[in-house]
Amino acid sequence: MAKKRERLEVIKDILSAIRSTRNIKPTRLLYASNLSPQMFKEYINELMDKGFIKIDINEEDKKTFSLTKKGNEFLEEYRIIERFIGNFGL
């Protein structure tokens, strides 16, 4: 059985998916995140509240997600954060 992803790992996966596609539509991001719609909504709300991602509306009035500066920084520092938590057992 696959190991349950830690919260930070889920966040990293969502942000990586957004970064790799630059502007990603909500449905595509839901599939890429591998979460239930309910969980996906919770994570997206949290990431927007904390300023990691933002919603853009394009010319066709469609919503897409993109990374903020803070979201990019999180991805850059993710390995360090993971190592820190793992080594101290936090």
Partner 1 sequence: MHLYDLLLNNREPLKILFTIIIGFACFMIVLRTDKLFRLSYHQGIRYFRNAFFFYGLAFILRYLFGIFSNSLMKFVFEFFLIMAGFSLFYSLIWKKFEIPGKESYSSLINWRIFLFYILSIILVILDYIWETYCFMFGSQIVLFAYASIISYINYNKNKGKEFTGLYFIVMLLNFIVWAANFVVAKFLEWYRPIVIGVYAIDIIIFILLLYTVLSLTKGKN
Write down the least CB distance from residue 23 to partner 1, Å.
23
Q: Quick one: tokens of 71?
A: 């979201």
Place of tokens 């793992």: 86
Q: Which of 5, 8, 22 is nearest to 75 (CA)?
A: 8
**Binding stretches for partner 1 (CB under 8 A):** 7-8, 42, 46, 50, 70, 73-74, 76-77, 79-81, 83-90
Write down the least CB distance from residue 28 to partner 1, Å.
23
Of residues 57 and 69, the one with the C-beta less far from partner 1: 69
Place of tokens 């909504």: 41
